[in-house]
Amino acid sequence: MKWSGLLIVHLRNIFILLVLSLVLFLPGIEKLPPLDRDEARFAQASKQMLETGDYIDIRFQETPRYKKPAGAYWIQAASVQMLSPNDATLIWAYRIPSVIAAIASVFLTYAIACLFLSSTSSLFAGILLAASFLLNAEAHMAKTDALLLVSILISQYGLARIYKGDTVHQNWLYFWSGIGIGILLKGPIVPLIISLTILGLWYFDRNMKWVKALRLKAGVLISMAISLPWIIAVQIRSDGSFLRTSIGGDLLPKLMGGMESHGMPPGYYLLIVMITFWPGSLFICPSLVNIIKTKTEICSKFLIAWVIPTWILFEIVPTKLPHYILPVYPALAIMTAKWMNDFKPAQITLGSKFFIALWFIIGCALIVASILLTNLNRDFVTSLTNVISVTVLIEQIKSNMQQNTGTMIIALTSVIFLLGSCIFLWNGRLKSSVISALCLAGLFFIPLTYSKIPAMTWAFPSLEVASFLRSSNELKNGLISIGYHEPSLIFLTGTDTYLTDIEGGVSKLKERSHNLALIDRSQLQDFRTKAESMTLKTKVIKTFDSFNYSKGRVLTLDLLKITDK
């Protein structure tokens, strides 16, 4: 194909991926409330940068936030400054960098796949990543993970080109620029993953001569030029606390044991990949078989070196969260694209058919969960913590579908595409299977993020409290919160919101009588007893019946103010 014709094909494919990504990633960006706890912490720290003008020292209220470098906070602050300069509590402005990063990750996955495969197969690699559950989730949250994925893919793109023997100048610049950006986003994670990939390639080839093209000395200087100035500045500002906290207080504890109740045994990521890479997980089994059969090919070697060492490391590390494994998902998407490129009908084995059946069951479970989320109320969620009969679940599903025709239509259409994906794959019609799975993803993710989760207002007490304070013109009076300390409350009600216990709350209310007090109902009586002992009389002006999903428990909050009566 002539160069001009190839350019047109690439531009067409990029346009397809752009439209697809926007359709999947944008719905719900504005409607989803700030999510506890990581997103709200990131957004609040970025908001404080704008409030104080201090872009070196990262803080959540008065507490230093030195677990991660400043890159993501800078990008979020810049986004808010450009898109919402007059209202820093609009969470969608903090999420736009994650959306852009997720789209860029889809493009880069396509670009890396094009180094080894046809443009058509590479297009499907981008489609599968864009449709994946985990990337959709990260695109809707103002955190570092989508941004981190971009930096990894920039480095992997440069590494893949050099490994193939393409040693033009920009390739080593891609490699080291990605590492420098990654360090500024999340410390040593990107260098670690890239090093493991190089180690995997050495295992295959027992030859490291090609590594000279990475230009180690010049490359390290570039990475240092990107990341080191801020690290030096924050080390000076924090009297050396930043590196002690980020490495000694965050990274090493995660490597040594389960941190913040996130400890999981080895095999965790293997167990959840059917959901986190869904719907692309339908193709994992035959793709892995194919990649092993073709392990001597340069594409297969690169993908195996990318996935296996990193996956093993994350399985060994005790602290586990679903998004930690995201950096290898582009490689899984390219593996699937390679299988499609190499496909022979005989590759749909009995084992693959068993895997298809398992995927179908998981898909049905997700559709059922989506139906249950329609008109979901707090009482039903509370009942899930107890033994609940199948009959009750069936009745709830029937009720939701009868009350909402749209839900019924979407559910039935989803089942059709679910079946279609399986049947097409079973019969060796791979492209039709991927397209059917893509339609299924759209029917699942778009209603979920645009309407179903935002409609569960009872699950977002911080938003309910902030909305009431704004509508009643009470926000300016300030808030003291006792027993409810979620970061989203700070983000939505203001940096000056005071989080404390009963004794501290009563003392603060004595000093600032114009403040309102937000109290967990379980502590209300003790609060009133303490307040009366200090001659403070209060009255409840609003009660919020909510659910704290971070702690998995029912929550009732009372909003009080001082009264003379």
Is 235 contained in some domain? yes
What share of the chain in percent tops pLDDT 70? 94
Q: Which of 388, 422, 455 is the last residue of a domain?
A: 455
Choose between 384 and 241: higher pLDDT. Answer: 241
Strands (E), 323-373: none
Contact between 177 and 171 (Cβ < 8 Å): no
Which residues form the domain of 362? 346-455
Predicted pLDDT of residue 131: 98
Average pLDDT score over residue span 106-111:
98
Average pLDDT score over residue span 129-136:
98
Q: Are residues 446 and 469 in the same domain?
A: no
Contact between 462 and 500 (Cβ < 8 Å): no
Q: Which of 291, 314, 342 is the last residue of a domain?
A: 342
Q: Are residues 100 and 29 in the same domain?
A: yes
Q: Which of 291, 320, 342 is the last residue of a domain?
A: 342
Q: Are residues 424 and 536 in the same domain?
A: no
Q: Are residues 331 and 351 in the same domain?
A: no
Poorest-pLDDT segment among 22-36, 256-270, 512-526: 256-270
Phi, psi of 153 (to 5 degrees): -70, -35
Paired residues of 429 in beta bridges: none
Over 60: is that where the pLDDT of 468 sits?
yes
Q: How many domains does the chain contain in total?
A: 3
Whole-model pTM: value is 0.94
In angstroms, the CA 290 to CA 274 distance is 18
- Count the Cβ atoms, other than its own, within 10 Å of residue 320: 20
Mean pLDDT of the chain: 92
Element counts in the chain: helices (H) and strands (E): 25, 7
Is 263 contained in some domain? no
Is 517 contained in some domain? yes
- Count the Cβ atoms, other than its own, within 10 Å of residue 123: 25
* Tokens encoding 126: 């981008």
Predicted pLDDT of residue 431: 92
Is 256 contained in some domain? no
Average pLDDT score over residue span 233-256:
79
Average pLDDT score over residue span 153-160:
98
Predicted pLDDT of residue 232: 93
Is 403 contained in some domain? yes
Is 94 contained in some domain? yes
Q: Are residues 511 and 371 in the same domain?
A: no
Contact between 105 and 151 (Cβ < 8 Å): no
Q: Are residues 366 and 337 in the same domain?
A: no
Choose between 564 and 449: higher pLDDT. Answer: 449
In angstroms, the CA 413 to CA 75 distance is 39
Q: Are residues 172 and 318 in the same domain?
A: yes
Q: Are residues 400 and 311 in the same domain?
A: no
pLDDT band at 383 (very low <50, low <70, confident <90, very high): low
CA-based nearest residue to 283, from 138, 429, 416, 150 = 429
pLDDT band at 380 (very low <50, low <70, confident <90, very high): confident
Predicted pLDDT of residue 385: 57
pLDDT digits (tens, 9 = 90+) for 323-345: 999 999 999 999 999 999 998 76
pLDDT digits (tens, 9 = 90+) for 253-309: 666 665 555 678 999 999 999 999 999 999 999 999 999 999 999 999 999 999 999
Q: Are residues 334 and 359 in the same domain?
A: no
Is 84 contained in some domain? yes
In this structure, which long-range contacts are made by residues 390-398, counting pairs with CB atoms below 8 Å and at least 24 apart in sequence?
A: 396/372, 397/368, 397/371, 397/372
In angstroms, the CA 23 to CA 129 distance is 14
